[in-house]
Amino acid sequence: MKKVTIYTDGACSGNPGPGGWGAVLIHGTERRELAGGARQTTNNRMELTAAIEALRALREPCEVDLYTDSIYLKNGITAWLPNWKRNGWKRRSGKRLLPVKNEDLWRVLDQLVAKHRVRFHWVEGHAGNEENERCDQLARAAIPNRGDDG
């Protein structure tokens, strides 16, 4: 099984507002950068999209170390997701069950993670991690301007 290291980041100009995502995939000496954007989105949707698109880019099942500066993404996939699924894609808020935000993206990410062996790692954003900083640059550059889809 190939070992791949992935770094991801999302950015938003306003929240909600136009946003972008970036990902860096590393396998041995091979390196691939991905980026994209959306006109109306949130920072969390861009964080999820970065991870989704990075995993989609893998052509075969891989052993993946995925690094993100999003606690929402890391906790969502490693801690909250099993409960959401058990509760019919609902989250607890006090005694109430509410719909999971970004359920559409969480479902896709869950399916992609099942195809690979993925370990999620949190890295501090804007703290000098070279690959995380590169993802931030890619995400910011992908934020659509003037109403185009970037």
pTM: 0.93
Residue 55 lies in a domain: yes
Which residue out of 28, 60, 126, 147 is catalytically annotated?
Answer: 126
Does residue 124 carry a catalytic annotation?
no
The yes-or-no verdict on residue 145 having pLDDT over 90 is no
| CATH number of 123's domain | 3.30.420.10
Task: Give the pLDDT band of residue 146 (cuts 50, 70, 90).
Answer: very low
Catalytic: which of 36, 47, 116, 131? 47
Q: Report the pLDDT value the prediction gives residue 128, as an integer from 0 to 100.
A: 86
Q: What is the 3-state secondary structure (H, E, C) of 48-62?
A: HHHHHHHHHCCCCCE
Q: Flag whether 63 is in a domain.
A: yes
Band the pLDDT of 125: cuts 50, 70, 90. confident
Q: 49: closest CA among 31, 23, 16, 71?
A: 23
Number of domains in the chain: 1
Quote the domain boundaries for residue 131. Answer: 2-75+105-141
On whether residue 125 sits in a domain, the answer given is yes
pLDDT tens, 70-105? Answer: 999 999 999 999 999 999 999 989 999 999 999 999
